[in-house]
Amino acid sequence: MGLISRKIGVEKVSALRLVSGAPSTQASTVYDRLREDLLSGRLEPGRKLQMRFLTDLYQTGQTPLREALNRLTADGLVEGREQRGFYVAAISRSELAELTKTRCWVESLALRESMAASTPQWEEQLLLAQHRLSRSPRSLNAEQFEDNPEWERLHRAYHKALIGNCGSQSLIAFCGQLADQLYRYRRLSIRKVFSSRQVADEHQAIMDAVLSKDADAAVAMLTAHYSRTAEVLLQDRQIFPELRDGADRG
């Protein structure tokens, strides 16, 4: 009986672990799907996130949904307003400028640290990331822009590879969070950015500077790369309708 009792006890503990772990697993799935909808702009900035709508959309319960929303609030993609619920984080020209400046600061540090600790393995990873990105078309349609999800994935992998040897997972994670927040802006104006940039040349130049061990040049090119994108977005009247009336030009 003692053995049976112990066996039943173990089974109960295992069952409890499964039950207690289920919401977190489901919350992670909801988090991933909701995050993608936020980044892509399918859930537009400033929109109120109705719980009933979201539970129906993602076929989930309120507990995992709230867990996912709290995580996204920490990521800066959702705003929690007291007594009013959750909203898609708003956008503004001032936030875009601040996010870009911060990203330039922290990725400059991360890139310098990566280069200071350079290894043949890291350089090979960077070369491979650049090669894969260069072989993927930015647009699926040469005549009219059509977003290529594979390019976006490889683009993110390239920029992560640049800073991936810095020795700080916390710094890499923070850079990723900034990239997510800025990606929302780029998605809202992606056609304009696409038509006015030759980003492949910029990516190649950054990598060449890294492999040449010229940290100052690499950092300057990386920050210029991000700043050019911000300059285009800051003047985009599609994202910022107030510009149509000549307002908010600061």
What is the Cα–Cα distance from 66 to 141, expressed in whole angstroms? 39
Confidence of residue 12 (pLDDT cuts 50, 70, 90): very low
List every span in the chain annotated with CATH 1.20.120.530: 93-244
User: CATH top-level class for 93-244?
Assistant: mainly alpha
Of 202, 201, 199, 191, give the one whose Cα is nearest residue 239: 191
Question: Is the CATH code 1.10.10.10 the one for domain 2-88?
Answer: yes
Check residue 140 and give its pLDDT.
86
Confidence of residue 246 (pLDDT cuts 50, 70, 90): low
Check residue 17 and give its pLDDT.
35
pLDDT tens profile 162-202: 999 999 999 999 999 999 999 988 887 766 556 656 889 99
List every span in the chain annotated with CATH 1.10.10.10: 2-88
pLDDT tens profile 106-157: 999 999 999 999 999 999 999 999 999 999 998 888 777 778 889 999 999 9
What is the Cα–Cα distance from 61 to 39, expressed in whole angstroms? 22
Check residue 194 and give its pLDDT.
61
What is the Cα–Cα distance from 190 to 249, expressed in whole angstroms? 21
Q: What DSSP element (H or E) covers 122?
A: helix 120-134
Of 46, 48, 57, give the one whose Cα is nearest residue 84: 48
- Written as one string, the DSSP assignment of 79-105 is EEETTTEEEEPP--HHHHHHHHHHHHH
Q: Residue 32: CB partners within 8 Å, gap ≥ 6?
A: none
Does residue 15 have a pLDDT over 50?
A: no
Report the mean per-residue pLDDT for the chain. 86
pLDDT tens profile 37-61: 998 888 999 999 999 999 999 999 9
